[in-house]
Structure 1
Amino acid sequence: MRRIITFGTFDVLHVGHIRILKRAKAYGDHLTVGLSSDELNFSKKGRNPIYPYSSREELLSSLRFVDEVFMEESLEKKREYITQHNADALVMGNDWEGKFDEFKDICDVIYLPRTPSISTTEIIEIIRDVHS
């Protein structure tokens, strides 16, 4: 069995998220998602996620191509997470191109093109503009 791992916040779940998760799963038999904790999201982006961890975890877990979701609490623990989950490949969006090459010694590292013209940040900005 080939095990795939990916990481993200997956806030305001949208078609771009769905497409990259489906494509990630196509690289193996089992897809594990490291889902950023609310605290990690705040430290990365300087804002709390729109949806709390429990809601984001429920949404991701309900997707038929996601086999497992766990809480990512630290960016510095990626190597540990990859090892713990016996991942054969790490799949990330190409906006991270080259940033995870350090893990090529323990698994394949694959960068996939993102869905153009859609991002959570953009969606949040549009909603804020409409309601201000």
Structure 2
Amino acid sequence: MSFPRTVLTFGTFDVFHVGHLRIVQRAAEYGDRLVVGVSADALNFKKKSRYPVFSEDERLAIVSALKPVDEVFLEESLELKRDYLLKHQADVLVMGDDWAGRFDEFKDICEVVYLPRTPAISTTALIEKISTT
């Protein structure tokens, strides 16, 4: 008997686009259950010096409505990644390859996979394009 594998991924998921959809779909392929941490508004401000276009509640609702997603939670701190992985009993951490190597420290508790990003799609670039039109 095999045990179900839990996959965990994180993201802001602001101005949701096909790149977000693809990483969620591909992450789900690594296990039986997909848990997604959505970055809190305050965390995004700390990282990028701007708040997301959509609120954390709206982004949680969007991500939780996706077919491959089994559970969502609010990621409030980058420093708590290990705690989130342990709490959700993650077997696999999936991140975009723009983070390659950054989460290798968690290989002691789960498999760590970096997936290629969808080319030519960036939330920051979309926001800049929208604001200039």
**Candidates 118, 125, 128, aligned match of 2:128:** 125
Structure 1 residue 30 displacement after superposition = 0.5
CA distance in 2, matches of 1:10, 1:27: 20
CA distance in 1, matches of 2:39, 2:20: 14
For residue 3 of structure 1, what is the aligned residue in structure 2?
A: 6
Please tell me the residue identity of whatever aligns with 1:62: A
Please tell me the residue identity of whatever aligns with 1:5: L
Please tell me the residue identity of whatever aligns with 1:35: V
Equivalent position SS for 1:81: helix
Segments of 5+ residues of structure 1 without an aligned counterpart are none
For residue 88 of structure 2, what is the aligned residue in structure 1?
A: 85
Structure 1 residue 9 displacement after superposition = 0.5
Segments of 5+ residues of structure 2 without an aligned counterpart are none
Q: Number of aligned pairs? A: 130
For residue 39 of structure 2, what is the aligned residue in structure 1?
A: 36
CA distance in 2, matches of 1:12, 1:42: 15
CA deviation map 1:88-125 (0-9, x unaligned): 00000000000000000000000000000001001000
Identity over aligned pairs, percent? 61
Normalised TM-score (structure 2): 0.97
Normalised TM-score (structure 1): 0.98
CA distance in 1, matches of 2:11, 2:30: 18
CA distance in 1, matches of 2:37, 2:60: 10
CA deviation map 1:52-71 (0-9, x unaligned): 00100100010000110001
Structure 1 residue 82 displacement after superposition = 0.1
The equivalences for 1:27-106 within 5 A come to 27-106=30-109
CA distance in 2, matches of 1:23, 1:111: 11
CA RMSD of aligned residues (A): 0.4
Please tell me the residue identity of whatever aligns with 2:41: D
